[in-house]
Amino acid sequence: QVQLVESGGGLVQAGGSLRLSCAASARTFSSYAMGWFRQAPGKEREFVAAINWSGSITYYPESVKGRFTISRDNARNTAYLQMNSLKPEDTAVYYCAAPSSITAVRDISNTENIHYWGKGTPVTVSS
C-alpha cells in the first residue's frame, strides 16, 4: 500500500508562487511515474502535471505549461510541483497521484490509470 501526503498549499496573491510537496511511503516510489491533479469546487478533477520515474520526462496540459514545473527526488521519495505566476483560476485542491504499475508519462493524465491518491492540499489564489 502506497501512501501519498501532500503539503505546501495555502493562500497566495495572483502572480505569486507556491511549491507543493508529495511524500510517498513506498520504497518502490522511484519505479513509477507520478502526477498532480487539481479539483476546483463544482468541477471535475483536472490533470496538472506528470513526471516519469527518473525525472527526465515531464508532461503538462496547456493551461499550466510554462508556469508549473514538476520534479522529484527519489532519494527522498518526494515529488514536487512548483507553481509560478499563479492565477485565481488555479484555485483548487491539489492532489498527488501514482499508478500501481509502470505507466507512460502521458497516460498519467488519465485518472483511470491512477491507483493511489493523496488527500489533497488546498491552494487559493486571490485576485
pLDDT tens per residue, range 85-125: 999 999 999 999 999 888 899 999 999 999 999 999 999 99
Say what the pLDDT of residue 112 is: 94
Q: For residues 88 and 126, is the Cβ–Cβ distance under 8 A?
A: yes
Say what the pLDDT of residue 11 is: 98
Say what the pLDDT of residue 61 is: 97
CB atoms within 10 A of CB 52: 19
pLDDT band, very low/low/confident/very high, at 28 (cuts 50, 70, 90): confident
Say what the pLDDT of residue 50 is: 97
pLDDT at 27 over 80: no
The C-alpha atoms of residue 10 and residue 38 are separated, in whole angstroms, by 14
- DSSP secondary structure letters along 84-121: -S--GGG-EEEEEEE-SS---GGGGGSGGG--EE---E
Three-state secondary-structure class, residue 73: strand
pLDDT at 55 over 80: yes
pLDDT at 40 over 80: yes
CB atoms within 10 A of CB 38: 24
pLDDT at 29 over 90: no
pLDDT band, very low/low/confident/very high, at 33 (cuts 50, 70, 90): very high
- Between CA 107 and CA 64, with CA 6 as vertex, the angle to 5 degrees is 50
The C-alpha atoms of residue 58 and residue 69 are separated, in whole angstroms, by 8
At 63-79, the pLDDT tens digits run 999 999 999 999 999 99
Single-letter amino acid, residue 61: P
Q: Report the relative pairing of strands 34-39 and 18-24 from DSSP bridges.
A: unpaired
- Gyration radius (Cα) of the chain, Å: 13
